[in-house]
Structures are given as C-alpha cells and as structure tokens.
Structure 1
Amino acid sequence: MELVNLTIDRIIIHQIYRRDDDGNKVTPTQSHEYTLFDNSAMEAFKSRVRDALGSGSKAVQMEIVNQEDTDLSSLVDSMADQSAEDFAISSYDIAMKLTNAQQRKAIPGGIVVVFLGRQGHPLKRFLGVIKAEIHSAYEKEVNSTTNEISLKFVEEVLLTPGTRLYKTAGFFERTEYDPSSSDLNDKWVVMVSDYQISQADGKAAAQYFYADFLGCGYPQTSARTTKQFYEATIGFISSLEVGEIEKSDLLNALTTYLKVDTSSSISAADFASKYFGDIDIQDSFTSYMEDEGIPSTAFTKDLAHIEGKLKFRKVSFGGNVKITAPSQAFKDLVVIEAIPGEPDEAGNPTEWTKVVVKERIIQQE
C-alpha cells in the first residue's frame, strides 16, 4: 500500500485498560472531542501511519472473515459515511470491542487511536485503528472534569521517535468495487501490522488483535503468492549479469529466507535489503517483482506449494555432472568457487568449478 497523497481528517483517542486481578473487564475511558495536531505534529503522525501500513512496512494484507452487523468490519463500513458527531460515538464502540477481545490479564492497556482519512489517486477513504501500549515512563494526564486525555500525553506516546506503534490496522477503500456486493472484502483492503510480535517471534500479528478484535484472517492465497515470489526471485537471480557462483549464493539465500528465517511475513523489499548489496540491484529487483504481480508490501509466508523444492538444492554442471543435497547441508557443507581452467583447443581461457564438501566420502556407487 503506497499511501500517497495521504490526508487525515479525524483523530479521536480513547483509553483502554488491562483486566483487573479477577480477570474482569475495566470500562475504557471515552474521549468526546477530536484530537487536533498542528502541522508538524500531523506530519509526524502521518509518517508513523506510513511506517506501520505503507509500502516497505511489515504490514500484512488480511481477509475480512467476520462480517455480521455486530462485527468490527460492519462498524467500520458504516463509520466511513458518518457525521463527525456520530463517528466520535462509534469510535468508542471500537475501543469497547478491543477491550472485549483482550481476554487475558497479561494483555496490557493503552490508548486506542481511531482515525479517518483519504489516500491515493483518485482519493479513496480509509479508517485506521492504532493500539499504542503505554510505557511506564509516561504519566497519563486526564482532565478530571472532561476525562479528556491531554494532547501532551498523546504527542509523547504517538510522535516521539523512540515510540513504536505496536498494533495498527487500516481498512482501505478499493478504487473500484461493486456497491451491490455483500462481501466487504470487495470494498475494503485490510492491512495489519504488529511491530512487537513481528520483530520478536515471527508471527504477523497477535491473534486477539487480528482475529478476535478485527475479525480477520490470513488470505487463502498466501501459498500461491509465496510460490510466485519464489519463482519470480529465481527468475531475477538467473537473469543477473553476475557469475554462477554468486548466483548460487543468492539461491542459497532465497532458501534460507523462506525456510530458515522464522518470520511469517516476507516481502521483496526485505529480501532485497538483506541479500542484494548493490542499491541499483535492489531497485531493479523490487521493480521486477512488481511487474511480476508480487505485492509491494509484506505478505504472509505459506510454503505449502514449494515445501518439496526447498528441501534440496541441486546444481548442474556441464558433462551431466550434478550435486544434490538437503538445503541446509548444502549451505553449511558445500563450497563452490570458480577457478581458471585449461585453455580450450583454440587456446581460449576457460572457467572450471572447484567444489569442496566439508565431509569425508562414506559411500560410492
């Protein structure tokens, strides 16, 4: 999601709490007024939204599963057309739904930021929800009369460079859709990011957030998209004007990225930054992948269609010579390098390949 021409029209913030010692819900603190940022603060907020949901982020596209009238997706769909007064009231329903979804006492409270905006060409609407967990260093300031959370506190939590937006979701209106369709997936694209979890143990988002709260699930096409990513990357590597040894190293890197890396989301930009040292090659790769129809943002990794291909690495040489080994063993035990060979019959230089296997021979046939 590029998030170009981004405009934020409404921001309202509520406070939610951890469950009490007995496991009972604590009623959220409701805000009745919109938060108004000055120009510099608004630009900082928009930058945070782009970092969480835009192109190059760790956001993963998800599918709307729960679409009943009482589900969040239906609430979002109606809020997009509401007046400012009704929107403010409905935004508190979002805070209540998140409170209900947080069923374990270990889940921390925080502030819930609900915002409405527009983006793209032509401009299309989107509704975002951020849960920012409150660090102990922050002292929440609430007006005892109005129960409003102070702007100073909001700016500290949302806008300071060291603060992470832990959980973020965006419902983006599609450029074209059939208004008569009853499937909200035809109207809205949902992007979800969870900085805390995606950077820790590889999950795309906390289940209580994306499933219990948002009512979303992973798209059924993740396996197909992963297969397309794998095949397109091999195609790009094969087309590079580099030596076969470097290509072999990059193919090993692709297997490592897909099979060994614990992250459950992958992206062309992430692979490029990790394994292509040349910035021009990085740019060429991301452009190539977009031309191949690979999403520009991160998507869920599903190896179902390529599991067999990732088990073994095979290298073929001239003369019908082949080396095959399990992917991890190939990476750890096989060293391949190009060496000068004897001149051919015309006296031209040739290139041979030196293969070192860091194990002894145990059987020959």
Structure 2
Amino acid sequence: MSGEFAQLVVDEAIFHLVPQRKRSDPVPAELKLSEAVCQLGEDVRGKIQANFRGVLTKHGRPVVEELEVKRSTVPDRIYEYLAQQRDLVDVSIDLAELLFESQKGRSPAGLLLVAAARLGGKRALLIVKLEQEGGLRAEDVLVEGKRTFDMSYFADLLMTEHNKIYKAALFCVDGVPEDGPIEGWAADKQLAGKMAQFWLQAFLGCRQKEDPKRLTQKFHEAAVDWVDKRVDDPEKSVDYLMAVLVELRSNTVTLDPTAFAADHLDLYDQDSFLAYLASKDVPTTIFDKDIARVAPRLSELQIGFASGISIVAPVKRVREDIKIDEHSDGTSTVTVKGKITSTRSHYSARKDDAPHTDGQTPGADSTA
C-alpha cells in the first residue's frame, strides 16, 4: 500500500449531518442524510485535497481490520465500495448510520464526509468526521430532485481556520486482499497522536497495524545498532547515542525519525541513518511513541573499549563529566571528571570467558 498522500485525489464527496447522540433526550436525534453527491469546483477540490493530505501525513497511522473480535461492519461496507459492488451514496448512508450508533453521548455533533478518491491512481475511499466551531448551519438543497447540502457552505467549513477535522480514515483498493483483512490509515487530531477507541475500534472496526511499544523498541534497537556499526568517530557516536536516548526520554507522544535525523545528525549521516532504519522495518515517518519496553535502557550510556574495559555513566552526567580525545592512531582517551566514592569487584559473563567445569566458584582453592 502506498503512503504517498500527496497523490490523494478527491473525485466526489457526499456529506451527512450526524447529531449528538444523547440517550437521555426525550426525542431521539435524527440523522440528516444526503441523497446525492455535492458539486465540487476545481478550486474547492484543490483546497479540500490539500487539507486532507496534510491531516493524513501528520496524523495518519497504518491500521488493519480487527478479525478476532468483529466490532463493526464498516470494513464490509468499505470492501463493497472498493470492489465496486455498491455506489458511493448508498455506502455513505450506511457509514453515517454506523457512526451515529457507535459514538457515545459525549461525542459532539458533526458532519460525516465520505469521498470517492484515488491514491496513486487507484480507487480509494476517504471517511472524515468534522465539525465547525460555533455550531452547524447546514442548508439542504435539491439537485435533480435529490437532497444534498450546499457545497459553498461546506467549502467555508473545510477551509476556514475555525474548522476541526477531527478524525479521518483512508482505504485504498491495494489494501483489500481477497484472503486477508482490509488495511488503510486512520487519523485523530484531537488526541495528539493517539486515537479514540470509538473511532478506531467501535466505528472503523480496526486496530493499529503496529504496536507503538514494539515500534519504539525497534527504533531504539536500530538506532543504537546504526551508531555502533556505522559511526566511526567516538565523540560523534556518543553525541548521536545521547540524542537517541534524550529523544526517547522526552515528553513527546510521537516520534518522527526523519525530523530526528535532520535535527541531530550531520547532513551526510542522515540518509545512512534513515536507510538503516528502513532495512530494519522501522518507519521513517511519524509514529506513536511508547517507551514501556525500553525505559530501563534509557537512563545510562555505556562506552566500551577493545580491551574489554567499559564505562557506564548516567545520561544526565555524560556531557558534563566525560571528555573524549581522539588520537591519530585510532585510539581515544576518555577522561572522567568527578570524585571517586567507591570501588567494587564486578563479574560479567562474557562470551570469551572459559567455562568452569569443576563445579567450583572461579578462584576457589581446590584442595581440602
């Protein structure tokens, strides 16, 4: 599946008004459904496409249909459209009804946009929930006897600085295998990289394709491995590894490897770093960060020597208390500044240690 959202093209769009669903209301709210697609002028189409491309690029996460626990029939509707079994209007009405049923009472009223789209020239379906601050003022009109909404209103809604594209999803025909789950992308601007479960699971019937804990672990392992294998300058390797640890320890909830490379690596090292990540199946685009699996490894930095000597230092003290001088013969002098407070013996089960086969503690006297 292609992640080139710059190639996203919107051909047709239809809107439905989805009210807030309050079970306590004496008279249940009703959906306001369109019966025909909106007319899109080229200027409006271009601006709408740019808006959606930006949302998916920044917030989109790969998702896959959840087969073990089927919570929604939305994947079935997506398949029917992409397989050309049903048209856009019919499928969009089903999606509006399913969204209304899946969202909870605290979910605000909004508009569901369903668009016939193309991604890299291939058939795609775009699903977006949005809302305008200040309330909805939708006016329905008749086009050839069928109800739709005035596109001039929606153009203002989508392109004003006051609009809120809350949640979006995109599915392409490439992600609809005959013998496997549907795949696509989902985005949620409200939760800073996370995703509302009602949108992802209850409505879309999907889960994130990659577990953020696993992705973060893979990034850490690949980045450390790249520094160890591809960076020859000892001082630079410390700086790069420090940058990795600081980035992972930061309070940000997402991680963008491309931005990290641009911010922390020399220009001629950036392509090598990103290519190495890709070779280890680590995405080079933004993903959700979760350090649960790597947290114990982020507090200390270890500097190892060919002789087997290692220096372990708290990350927060490395730049202040450690100095590295590189020599022309390839060796380095590492100076540690500080007051010695303790010395102790240390045992490390190194691979080159000879095994002890007599069942005795190394160094113990074997005579009675």
Q: Shorter-normalised TM-score: what interval?
A: 0.7 to 0.9
| The one of 248, 259, 268 aligned to 1:258 | 248
TM superposition score normalised by structure 1:
0.77
Instruction: For residue 16 of structure 1, report the CA deviation from its aligned partner.
Output: 1.4
Q: Which amino acid aligns with 1:143?
A: D
How far, CA to CA, are the matches of 1:69 and 1:22 in structure 2? Answer: 24
Query: Is the partner of 2:105 in helix, strand or coil?
Result: coil
2-structure distance, mates of 1:323, 1:23: 67
Q: What is the CA-CA distance between 1:194 and the residue it aligns to?
A: 0.9
* Residue identity opposite 1:173 in structure 2: V
Partner in structure 1 of residue 62 of structure 2 = 61
Q: Who is 2:14 aligned against? A: 12
Q: With structure 2 as the length reference, what TM-score do the two structures score?
A: 0.76
> Aligned partners of 1:353 and 1:23: how far apart in 2?
72
Q: Who is 1:194 aligned against?
A: 188
Match of 1:115 in 2: 115
Alignment of 1:318-333 (within 5 A): 320-325=308-313, 329-331=314-316
- Are 1:249 and 2:239 matched, yes or no? yes
Distance 2:201 2:236 in 1: 42
Mapping 1:19-58, distance limit 5 Å? 19-20=21-22, 22=24, 26-54=29-57, 57-58=58-59
Contact 2:167 2:189 in 1 (8 A): yes
User: 1:173 — aligned with what?
Assistant: 173
Shift of 1:292: 3.8
Please give the alpha-carbon distance, in whole angstroms, between the structure 1 residues aligned to 2:103 and 2:267: 43
- Structure 1 position 37, deviation (Å): 2.4
Question: Residue 5 and residue 333 in structure 1: after superposition, are their counterparts in 2 closer, same or farther (change >3 A)?
Answer: closer
The answer to whether structure 1 residue 285 and structure 2 residue 270 are counterparts is no
Contact 2:82 2:172 in 1 (8 A): no
Equivalent residue number for residue 355 of structure 1: 336
State the distance in 2 between where 1:364 and 1:23 align: 72
Deviations 1:305-340 (A, max 9, x none): 645544543222465442325xxx423566355455
| Alpha-carbon shift at residue 164 of structure 1 (Å) | 4.6
- Cα separation, 2, equivalents of 1:176 and 1:151: 31
Unaligned runs of 5+ in 2: 345-368
Are the aligned partners of 1:15 and 1:30 in contact in 2 as well (CA < 8 Å)?
Answer: yes
Matched-pair contact (CA < 8 Å) for 2:301–2:315: yes
What secondary structure, in the 3-state scheme, does the structure 2 residue paired with 1:174 have?
helix
The separation in 1 between residues aligned to 2:294 and 2:238, in whole angstroms, is 19
- What letter is aligned with 1:37? L
Distance 1:148 1:117, change over 3 A: closer
C-alpha distance in 2 between matches for 1:117 and 1:362: 67
Tell me, in whole angstroms, the C-alpha distance in 2 between the residues paired with 1:11 and 1:140: 18
Q: Deviations over 1:288-315 (max 9, x none)?
A: 4334433344445455664554454322
Residue deviations 1:136-187 (CA, integer Å, cap 9, x gap): 2x6624137776433232112222356452211111222794x3x1x3x2xx
Percent of pairs with identical residues: 22
Q: Does 1:160 align with 2:160?
A: yes
Moved more, 298-307 or 166-175: 298-307
* Cα drift, residue 74 of structure 1: 0.4
User: Aligned partners of 1:53, 1:296: CA distance in 2, in Å?
Assistant: 15
The number of residues matched between the two structures is: 337
Q: Does residue 261 of structure 2 align to residue 272 of structure 1?
A: yes
Q: Which residue of 1 aligns with 2:122?
A: 124
CA deviation after TM superposition for structure 1 residue 64, in Å: 0.8
Find the residue that maps to 1:234 and give its secondary structure: helix
Q: Which runs of 5+ in 1 are unaligned?
A: none
**Aligned residue in 1 for 2:139:** 142
Deviations 1:233-289 (A, max 9, x none): 2233345657433322322232333344451x434224334534x555445533443
